[in-house]
């Protein structure tokens, strides 16, 4: 309410507004009381009281402004150089944005590095696959087929002494392997060589010859690390003590859980000369300290 100019007391009303005030009413009720300062009570040259001033709503601040303001307030309280150079306020929003962007970049980079370091994929990053090696040269010998009268007699060829798989860069000497006390196939003492199972046929004669090797160790990949990457059609060469060799062609590559290993399919009798290359694979169980599966390469004599 504004000034009314009345000189008589204002009649009593049931209830006046909380912000109601009139100088005449105050003078009548409190003689000698000092009113408000003229500069507050009235505005020079004002002719009428208008309604509340309406202003256009200010647009909400952008995210950039919010970030710049927040960082500016934080820096003003915590950075001494910010207080010393506070007079350069005109440059500060741009500087704050630049510093804020730098901090964001550093945070993103640090987070990315942490994810990369902690990622299982990077912790188990595969080594580079070895380049193929030249095909070994040598004389191949295939035993003559057995006649009906010879069935059940052992075909004899020289014992195997090396194996080469050019597609995965493998050439290694062979050691003899037997069975453990538990009746399982022995494994080579070194991860750098493979072994031939002496309880089976020699490579190149009728039956399934077996050669085994390690997939890896604590120090790095083993001789058969890349065995699982072979494909049908790849060649395997087995050298014999007499200087001859047998050539096998891969027919399939399979993985079996160790508790479901198909012993008959891998070690069982077959009418032709075949070869099995065996190593570990699948998931590594740290509590057991071993892999849960085996990789088996099936190959057939072709040369």
Q: Would you call 229 helix, strand, or coil by DSSP?
A: helix
CATH 2.40.37.10 fits 157-301, yes or no: no
Question: 92-106 pLDDT, tens per residue?
Answer: 555 555 556 555 554
Q: Would you call 150 helix, strand, or coil by DSSP?
A: helix
Residue 285, both tokens:
């169980």
Q: How far is CA 212 from the centre of its chain?
A: 32
DSSP 247-272: EEEEEEEEEEEGGG--HHHHHS--SS
Which residue spans of the chain are classified as CATH 2.40.260.10? 157-301
Q: Is 180 within 8 Å of 189 (Cβ atoms)?
A: no
User: Per the confidence metrics, is the pTM higher than 0.85?
Assistant: no
Q: Is 99 within 8 Å of 81 (Cβ atoms)?
A: no
Residue 43, both tokens:
């505005």
Mean pLDDT value across the chain: 75
Question: 213-236 pLDDT, tens per residue?
Answer: 999 998 999 999 999 999 999 999
């Amino acid at each position: 309410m504004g000034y009314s100019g009345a000189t008589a007391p204002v009649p009593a009303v049931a209830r006046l507004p909380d912000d109601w005030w009139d100088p005449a009413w105050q003078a009548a009720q409190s003689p000698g009381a000092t009113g408000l300062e003229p500069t507050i009570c009235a505005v020079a040259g004002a002719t009428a009281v208008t309604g509340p001033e309406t202003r256009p709503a200010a647009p909400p601040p952008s995210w950039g402004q919010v970030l710049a303001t927040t960082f500016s307030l934080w820096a003003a309280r915590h950075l001494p150089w910010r207080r010393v150079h506070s007079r350069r306020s005109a440059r500060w929003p741009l500087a704050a944005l630049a510093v804020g962007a730098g901090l964001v970049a550093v945070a993103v980079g640090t987070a990315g590095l942490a994810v990369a370091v902690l990622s299982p994929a990077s912790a188990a990053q595969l080594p580079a696959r070895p380049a193929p090696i030249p095909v070994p040269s040598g004389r191949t010998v295939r035993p003559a087929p057995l006649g009906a009268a010879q069935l059940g007699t052992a075909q004899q060829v020289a014992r195997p002494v090396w194996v080469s798989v050019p597609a995965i860069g493998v050439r290694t000497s062979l050691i003899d392997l037997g069975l453990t006390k538990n009746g399982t196939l022995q494994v080579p003492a070194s991860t750098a060589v493979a072994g031939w199972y002496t309880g089976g046929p020699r490579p190149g004669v009728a039956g399934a010859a077996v050669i085994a090797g390690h997939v890896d160790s604590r120090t790095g990949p083993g001789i058969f690390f890349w065995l699982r990457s072979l494909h049908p059609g790849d060649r395997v060469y087995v050298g014999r003590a007499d200087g001859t060799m047998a050539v096998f062609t891969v027919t399939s590559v399979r993985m079996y859980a160790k508790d479901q290993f198909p012993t008959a399919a891998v070690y069982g009798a077959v009418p032709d000369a075949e070869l099995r290359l065996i190593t570990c694979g699948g998931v590594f169980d740290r509590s057991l300290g071993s892999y849960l599966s085996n990789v088996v390469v099936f190959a057939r004599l072709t040369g």
